[in-house]
Chain A
Amino acid sequence: MLAYIIGLLTGILSGLAIGGGTLLVPALVFLMHLPQQTAQGVCLASFVPTAFVAVLTHFRQNNVDLKLALPLTIGALGGALLGSVLANHVDAALLKKLFGLFLIGMGIYEYSCSLPKKYLGN
């Protein structure tokens, strides 16, 4: 039941474009006591079917720039191999700290993005 509630809430945040996926990992770690790697694996696996439907919709609406996507995808696939092999071979405690650092950065970014433009220098 807890899993459905976590999925529903982070899904709502994703729908609102407030980084639901980013919050799914700490939710799984803190509320469901998953090891860091498993929390990240579950986050990735659950992202695929949702993204599939979303990509089909965007594709039909001509929102996909394929010429731009190709070199970006080639780089991203290489990066994904590199990153995921690394993630699966480092200590869970270290990976958790790394994720935490990223989360702090994201939090500051989300917070400052929502401030009115006059506070941002331009």
Chain B
Amino acid sequence: MNFSFLNISGHHFPHVLRLGGIGLLTGIINGLLGIGGGTILIPALTFLLQKEQHTAHGTSLAIILPTAMVSTFVYQANNHIDWPLAFKIALSGMIGGYLGANLMEHIPAASLKKLFGIFMAIAGLRMVF
């Protein structure tokens, strides 16, 4: 087992601080809003740290998994999780995720993204007002 990744002294100290700061922001979004945080992390990894798309996705998920577990624990401690519902969503969500990933090549993702962007903004407005 190689533990060399634990040696963060290989980074310049300000760089480590910057990474910690990006992590902190991702964690706050994750805990406060209950969504992954990949929306912050993936652009940060690709644009700020020049990581390739597949490394950015893998690394981002590896960070968000323990983060979401901590948030889930706090929500559970406050009785804010409906577990039977979460189970149904997770099960159907996995099937959906598999379908979505395979549909990728057959669907004009850009126009769909635009459509759901508008959809999100409208849902957001309804939540604010």
Contact = CB atoms under 8 A, between A and B. Distances in A.
B80 A40 contact: yes
Contacts of A76: 23-24, 26-27, 30, 37, 63-64, 66-67
A81 B31 contact: yes
Contact of B58 (A18, A58, A86): A58
A86 B30 CA distance: 12
Contacts of B123: 23, 26, 30, 100, 103, 107
B66 to A, nearest CB: 6
A15 B75 contact: no
B81 A38 contact: yes
Contacts of A46: 86-87, 89-90, 93
Given A42-B89, A66-B5, 4 more contacts: A12-B103, A15-B102, A106-B39, A107-B123
